[in-house]
Structure 1
Amino acid sequence: MIEPATPSVLSLSGIAFSLPARTIDAHTWACRCGFPEARASALLRNGVQQFHDAASASPVTFACEAVSALLEDTSTTPASIDALVYTHTVQSSVLAPPAGTAAFIQSRMGLDHALAFSVMQQNCVSPMAAIRVLRVLTVSGRPIHRAIVVCADVMGSGCDPLRAIEDLALHSDGACAILLERGAGCNAIVGLHLHTDGRYFRGTDDDLQPVPDDRYYWSAFTTMRAALRQAGVTANELAHVLPHHVNLSGWQRLMTMLSVPQERLFTANFARLGHVFGADPFINFHTAPRAQPGSHSLLFSSGLAGCFGAMVIRH
């Protein structure tokens, strides 16, 4: 039996992103890292073609660009923003203490009335974790009617060998800003579920390579299923599945597990954008074909250290 949908208090009202103009293809990456050509060929077979390279540019620069574009695209005034949450995956994607990245973006963007803070340690699921925190603050009575979540990450040219997630993805630098509004109705968040498997708390092995997760597919499937149950919809009702850009062949397997037709998996950005850390599902939501009002889409992301997150949107 499908559980009834719970009342939604926040909606995705706008998304903007900022990516470096420079792109590096898989063959060039393998060459400059000293990897064999076979490594690039394996990436290409998995649909991985290129990544966006910020070189030495600051992630905060991209974060501010994304927030600025979001405010302009949605005709939102800075004074109307009640909360700003900064999220990231890479430790170097924040200003060194005692500086505060969220406070810097708040000051630069003129968000003087916003409650500003940061969410981290959920890696590529951190934006969804931030949205969950905002939902809790909203239902607990805090007067948050409009909020921005911004995620930004830059690997840095000195970390090029770490861009690859096995042969399944290449990390791109960049940022994404998300406008959330209370009671907007359209694109309402009707399901949101997070899961962390503590067995993978280290994230990587001694060689900084991802630790194989023998429960990955089951964890991803059950996380998505829990979000769907919250929303009161079945998987085969979904208009789109909006994935993170990792493991394209694995996504085909997950679609089978969900009993969703493969054509509903939005894959147009996999090869073109690379894996932009926590931004992938939100960029896909912004660029996917417009769905019919009343239909639903599923956003999903997972990260190192056993983090999983799924969100259901009612269009």
Structure 2
Amino acid sequence: MTSLEDVSIYLPPKSIPIDRALSDLDVPDAQIRLFQRFYGFSHIRRDPETPLVDQMLATAAGLTALRGREEHVRYVVQALTIPVCAPYPENPVHEVRRALGLDHAMAFCLTQHACATGLLAVDVCGKLLAGDDDPDAMALIFTGEKAYTAYAQRYIVDTAVMGEGMAAVLVRQGGERDRLLAFASRVHGQFNAAPWLPNELAREFDRMYPEALAEVILAALAQANLTLSEIVLILPHHVNHNSWKRLSKKIGMPIERIFLDNLSIMGHCYCADSFINYRTVREDGRLRRGDYYMMVSVGLGATFSAMVFQH
């Protein structure tokens, strides 16, 4: 059974009010006020002086379970929202692999599920490790990207403001905690042009969003043979607060059990949100041994994904 051996995060020290971040991109004042007053966004993290590779290495430095066990790492994976994460000819995942002394490991990127690719990476790495003869074999996954272009820094209309923040995840087979019990994912390909959808399709996506997200959440619960009442927390991706209220009403789950504390102060950190939230609730003591929780994310395009774990 796939499990999370360790999760470490890196948050840039610079916190920027979203009105300043978005005004630099010529976002209309009315849209900025909408994000602040109704969608729950206040600040984002940015670290313009620190290259992506250095951010990734800073994230990996917090993985205590990696120290002294580097020879067991079989894969180094970068889970990306945007296919190109650095200017040519830089190749961050290979640079990080060398810097960490993991030249023996295979390195590759995943991009197919946009902001849900982090969950996809956990599933893919678990399946790859299941065929390894070494019971201690691990995969190292990096999530989160650096907003190095105006395109990458842009907000998603009526959805999210993009910030910087990273998570490094060690995945293995076996393990005593954070065991992956179920994974459900569905692609609604008619929305593949997002975020540049024509108005009619954009309205249809907004209408079906809570229903599609509820579908994968309930499918993952069915796989795990659990009910929603047994889930202690949902660790979400950071899209606007209203969308989570709609989901809460749709599935009948109290909004207090959808962890939204980080949304206002971090923005949407690409694939890293759920893992950053995991570290927060674990450090705050909100997860006890044996608790069931979920990670949930949606990628533009449109991929809806949900995972069930037992802490």
TM over 0.5: yes
Partner of 1:184: 175
Residue by residue over 1:67-87, the C-alpha shift from the partner in whole angstroms, topping out at 9 and shown as x without a partner, is 2222x4664532232221111
Equivalent residues in 2 for 1:45-60, closer than 5 Å? 45=37, 46-55=39-48, 57-60=50-53
User: 1:41 is matched with which residue: 33, 40, 47?
Assistant: 33
Q: Does 1:218 align with 2:211?
A: yes
How far does residue 36 in structure 1 lie from its aligned partner after superposition? 3.6
Which of residues 185, 188, 211 in structure 2 aligns to 1:194? 185
State the Cα deviation string for residues 125-180 of structure 1 (Å, max 9, x = none): 111111111222233456472221112312225347x5212233210123210111
The TM-score, its normalising length taken from structure 2, stands at 0.88
Q: Which amino acid aligns with 2:293?
A: S
* Counterpart in the other structure of 1:109: 100
| Identical aligned residues as a percent | 25
Residues 56 and 156 in structure 1, CA contact (< 8 A), matched pair in contact too: no
Report deviation, 1:202.
1.9
1:300 is paired with a residue of what secondary structure? strand
CA distance in 2, matches of 1:76, 1:110: 11
Q: Deviations over 1:110-131 (max 9, x none)?
A: 1133222221121111111111
SS at 1:271's partner residue? helix
Matching residue within 62, 67, 91 for 2:55: 62
Contact kept in structure 2, 1:56 and 1:157, CA below 8 Å: no
Q: What SS class does the counterpart of residue 61 from structure 2 fall into?
A: helix
| Residue 121 (structure 1) aligned to one of 89, 108, 112 | 112
CA distance, structure 2, for counterparts of residue 241 and residue 152 of structure 1:
19
**Which of 292, 304, 311 is 2:307 aligned to?**
311
* 1:57 CA displacement: 4.0
For the pair 1:31 / 2:30, whether they are aligned, the reply is no
Whether the 8 Å contact between 1:87 and 1:149 is mirrored in structure 2 is yes
Contact 1:90 1:155 in 2 (8 A): no
The answer on 1:270 being equivalent to 2:272 is no
Aligned to 1:17: 9
**Structure 1: distance between partners of 2:87 and 2:98:** 14
- 2-structure distance, mates of 1:259, 1:166: 27
Indicate the residue corresponding to 1:171 in structure 2: 162
Deviation at 1:51, TM superposition (A): 1.2
Question: Aligned partners of 2:239, 2:169: CA distance in 1, in Å?
Answer: 21
Amino acid at match of 1:242: L
- The 2-side partners of 1:56 and 1:205 are apart by 30
Higher mean C-alpha deviation, range 261-270 or range 84-93: 84-93
- Among 60, 80, 85, which residue is 1:88 paired with? 80
Within 1, Cα distance between the matches of 2:300 and 2:4? Answer: 26
**Paired residues of 2:138 and 2:173 also in contact (CA < 8 A):** yes
Q: Which one-letter code corresponds to 1:163 in the other structure?
A: R
Instruction: Specify the alignment match of 1:261 in structure 2.
Output: 254
The 1:138/1:77 distance shift into structure 2, 3 A limit, reads closer
Per-residue deviation at 1:247? Answer: 1.9
Unpaired runs of 5+ in structure 1?
A: 1-8
Q: Counterparts of 1:158 and 1:268 in 2: how far apart (Å)?
A: 27
Tell me the alpha carbon deviations over residues 86-124 of structure 1, each in whole angstroms, 9 at most, x when there is no partner: 111123314635x64332221111113322222112111
- For 1:29 and 1:101, the matched residues in 2 are separated by 25
Comparing 32-41 and 182-191, the one that deviates more = 32-41
Measured after TM superposition, the shift of residue 278 of structure 1 is 0.6
TM-score, normalized by length of structure 1? 0.87
| Structure 2 letter corresponding to 1:168 | T
CA RMSD of aligned residues (A): 2.3
Which moves more between the two structures, 138-147 or 128-137? 138-147
Give the distance between the partners of 2:76 and 2:210, measured in 1 at CA. Answer: 33
Comparing 282-291 and 295-304, the one that deviates more: 282-291
Offset, 1:304: 0.8
Is the partner of 2:84 in helix, strand or coil? helix
Which residue is 2:130 aligned to?
A: 139
In the alignment, which of 296, 302, 306 is matched to residue 298 of structure 2? 302
Give, in whole Å, the separation in 2 of the partners of 1:120 and 1:64. 20
Equivalent pairs, count: 302
With 270-279 and 130-139 compared, the bigger mean Cα shift is at 130-139
